[in-house]
Chain A
């Protein structure tokens, strides 16, 4: 009797193990379970629920950080993915501290010229950021003070000037157009931020200065923008040189390329590298393909299915995007967040552009058209995983001599853009005007004005007596 009972139990155990083996084999085949063993799920159960990979969130980066010195002059910093020098962590620390320890004052119609009249740091976002998502990334989402804010277009941090003064935080709600004002007494964080602003003012004495169009009373601009202004008759600068990623690798391109792209692959040994007759390099394994084209773009595709689909938000997707970009061993030039799009079929698309010495680099319309790319880099994130990545695979470096100059100021550029619209009276608004490097087929690039007039981008030369360039149908 005992032996029969024991035999039955043994049979049940064997059948159970067979089912477990089939299930485990199936999930290993279809999912990404590197490093998991049979007991992984049990060991990682949390409060009775199976926990999937923890999804982290991160702060949405501003497109640019504007530092104001209280004298109607400003400096612009494009923080990029590598951070915005010391000003970024100190401003973030100030914002967090003020929201935690300060109080809500009021919500009013925005009077921007008043807010930026003192020493301040302005976060200017490329798009309207969900307030909830922004503060999740900051770690202050449970703060009651911010519950009434819908979406953010700008944040203005005004630290207290002295120990007995008051700090202010202005959050401009993109949805209502109004500003939510918070205040707090002077703190360690406000002192650090104030000192940092003073330090920057001293360091940037010879840097390009910017003025606010709103403070200058230029109502033709749709929204406040910061434009460069100099006292000399011309502004001298260095052109930039572009270097193809592939040309950097020299003779042993295969080895260098494999090493540079190893971050994209889980297993170094399972990938293969090939080069086709068109000169396209392809590094791939079962799930991932990375291609480098001789025309100057690189592409990444992740074909792995997301077996455990995790809920994606703006901040979690951006975290995945930033972590992914750290793996790009061929990305050497600073990039900043230019835009974000919601693509119904793909997911969230984060768009980046290059910058150098805090001056943005924009591609010419012809380059964009030829390479089917709108920005220097586009990252598609779905279920908190990067599925596609396309980048203009060039690095940029400033040439040693400042032998180029700008003698057309922002108003001159604007006048040319308005004149090219034809009927002067038909121009209703100027969206923005940006001084940026213009990248086309040439190896060297200089500055041009990019003016956004009634939804069209006009590129205007920065040297007098040179005719206008292309007009694009891009909207902004």
Chain B
């Protein structure tokens, strides 16, 4: 009898106690960034003859944009060559021209804002020598032949 009463009491107390669980988001929202010009992160690798590329787009005021440019050696070693930091202001726009060395340039892009998850992207920009462009424009290509 005593055991039954104790069991009923415990069961009643469990039913009365409030749930402390809630269905919240497992992660914070990601900072909103829209890339609008010249360079984006849809492709892993792009080529260019230009000595610079412009990263531009939209983001909320107070977002910090960090861009790091690495040169990539043939062995795949990365060496940091440029580091840019831009604070997005009232215009909600950002734009930064990044210098490129001849060869592979690995560009890391990160947008951070307090209370939000970072937005990150990267792309490799392969800068070709302009002399090759001139040669391509002035040459007649025969399949199987060489320039």
Residues of A within 8 A of B (CB): 71-73, 205, 209, 211, 215-218, 220, 229-232, 409-412, 414-416, 418-419, 424, 427
Contact = CB atoms under 8 A, between A and B. Distances in A.
B95 A411 contact: yes
8 shortest A-B CB distances, which residue pairs?
Answer: A217-B36, A415-B89, A216-B37, A231-B99, A418-B90, A216-B56, A229-B97, A231-B97
Contacts of A229: 54, 95, 97
A165 to B, nearest CB: 12
Contact of B38 (A72, A412, A427): A72
23 contacts: A71-B49, A71-B50, A72-B37, A72-B54, A211-B37, A211-B95, A215-B38, A216-B38, A217-B37, A217-B56, A218-B36, A218-B56, A218-B95, A220-B91, A220-B93, A229-B54, A231-B52, A410-B95, A411-B91, A411-B94, A414-B91, A415-B89, A427-B90
Which applies to chain B's interface (DSSP): helix, strand, loop or mixed? strand
A414 B95 CA distance: 12
A97 B147 CA distance: 36
Contacts of A416: 89
Given A217-B56, A218-B36, A231-B98, A73 B91 contact: no
Contacts of B82: 231
Interface in B25-67: 34, 36-38, 48-52, 54, 56-58
A211 B54 contact: yes
Nearest to A419: B90
A80 to B, nearest CB: 28
Given A218-B95, A410-B95, 12 more contacts: A71-B50, A73-B50, A209-B52, A211-B97, A217-B36, A217-B37, A217-B56, A218-B36, A220-B91, A414-B89, A414-B93, A415-B89
Interface residues of B, number: 25
Question: Which of B56, B92, B98 gathers most chain A CB within 10 Å?
Answer: B56
B90 A216 contact: no
A121 to B, nearest CB: 19
A411 B94 CA distance: 7
Interface of B: 34, 36-38, 48-52, 54, 56-58, 82, 86, 89-95, 97-99
A230 B37 contact: no
B97 A415 contact: no
Nearest to A420: B90
B31 to A, nearest CB: 18
A419 B86 CA distance: 17
A410 B50 CA distance: 22
Contacts of A419: 89-90
Nearest to A218: B93
A285 B82 CA distance: 66
Contact of B89 (A73, A231, A232, A411): A411
Contacts of B89: 411-412, 414-416, 418-419
